Amino acid sequence: MASSECELYLYTPSLALAVVAVIAFSGLAAVLCFRMIKTKTWSSIFFVLGAFAQLSGYTARVFSTQDPCNRVAYGIQSILLLLGPTLIMLSVNLTQTNFARALEAEQFCLVPIRWQTPLYLSLNTVLIILQAVGGIMSVASTSITALTIGGRMTIAIYVIQTVFWGFTFAENVCMTIRLGRQQTETSLGPLKKWKTWNQLFGLTTSIIGFGRNIMRLTMAGGIAFLIENEWPAYAFDGYQMIVVLGAWAIFYLPEKCEAVADKGTYRSLTRLEEIRRSPT
């Protein structure tokens, strides 16, 4: 049932669901920001930005519950809730590269480790920009042609993201199998719990890369139940991001990767100094 005659929503937006999301993402954004600054793990900035995007999106949703016909609030929440998970996945991809490097498992990756950061950063950035453009066209334009193009662009980005993140997940699985057969010094020492921490990548990709994107694609396909009811969007999208960010906030793998990298740098410098001091 439409919330009002303007029909921005095909249901009445729930204040309670939006408030719970705002409270949860406020806490997660604060924790992730604190941990990033404390550990100087700047690659996690996109976790923080993703959390703030979700927080801002659901804050706009709170305003929508008071005025469902407010097009500004509707547009803000639509675009930010579209971009939040994509920003989160960008930090996941960067952390996966750092994790492989920390494990000294570069030879087990499908893509050479030196290419991964610039490649994954560039691809995700392009997808974020295109997704933002498609989202803006879908919510801000009054032209039927622009609305159609924006909708198709958004659908195409979901498909591309699913394939791309599926590939990064396959790379992680490949690394996991090969590393399990041929353990490295780091995987047996500083990161001996790597198999447990590695599950963060599977959790995130399965929720965002597959579950959330497939749900969004299903909604874009016009399934009436998903369009006319609000709770599936929270259950399979919004609150699922709380699970993802909560897991990363608890285990905070970037800090562990950074600690191992620092130790590796220290060991390398020590060995270099020993070689310089050794008699020729």
pLDDT confidence of residue 266: 37
- Per-residue model confidence as pLDDT tens digits over 39-84: 999 989 999 999 999 999 999 999 999 998 898 999 999 999 999 9
Would you say residue 276 has pLDDT above 80? no
> CA angle, corner 85, sides to 124 and 9, nearest 5?
125
Alpha-carbon 8 to chain mean position: 27
pLDDT confidence of residue 227: 86
pLDDT confidence of residue 262: 65
Residues belonging to the chain: 280
Span 6-15, mean pLDDT? 86
Both structure tokens of 136:
């803006």
- Per-residue model confidence as pLDDT tens digits over 257-268: 988 876 654 344
Number of helical H runs and strand E runs in the chain:
12, 0
- Per-residue model confidence as pLDDT tens digits over 159-201: 999 999 999 999 999 999 999 999 998 889 888 999 999 999 9
pLDDT confidence of residue 268: 42
Both structure tokens of 28:
């997660």
Q: Which residue type, as a one-letter code, is found at position 177?
A: I
Percent of the chain residues past pLDDT 70, beyond the cut:
91
Mean pLDDT over each residue of the chain, to the nearest integer: 88
- Per-residue model confidence as pLDDT tens digits over 115-134: 999 999 999 999 999 999 98
Both structure tokens of 50:
């993703």
The three-class DSSP label of residue 177 is helix
Q: State how far the Cα of 182 lies from the Cα of 193, in Å rounded to an integer.
A: 15
Return the exposure string of 50-85: e unless at least 16 CB atoms fall within 10 Å of the residue's CB, then b.
bbbbbbbbbbbbbbbbeebeeeebbbbbbbbbbbbb
Side-chain-side CA neighbours of 258 within 13 Å: the count stands at 15
Would you say residue 205 has pLDDT above 70? yes
Pick the residue with more confidence: 135 or 51? 51
Q: How confident is the model at residue 4 (pLDDT cuts 50, 70, 90)?
A: very low
Cβ 89 vs Cβ 165: under 8 Å: yes
Q: Which helix (H) or strand (E) holds 109?
A: none
Both structure tokens of 173:
């699985």
The three-class DSSP label of residue 222 is coil
Enumerate domains of the chain plus CATH numbers: 15-257 (1.20.1070)
- Per-residue model confidence as pLDDT tens digits over 207-254: 999 999 999 899 887 788 888 899 999 999 999 999 999 999 999 999
Would you say residue 277 has pLDDT above 60? no
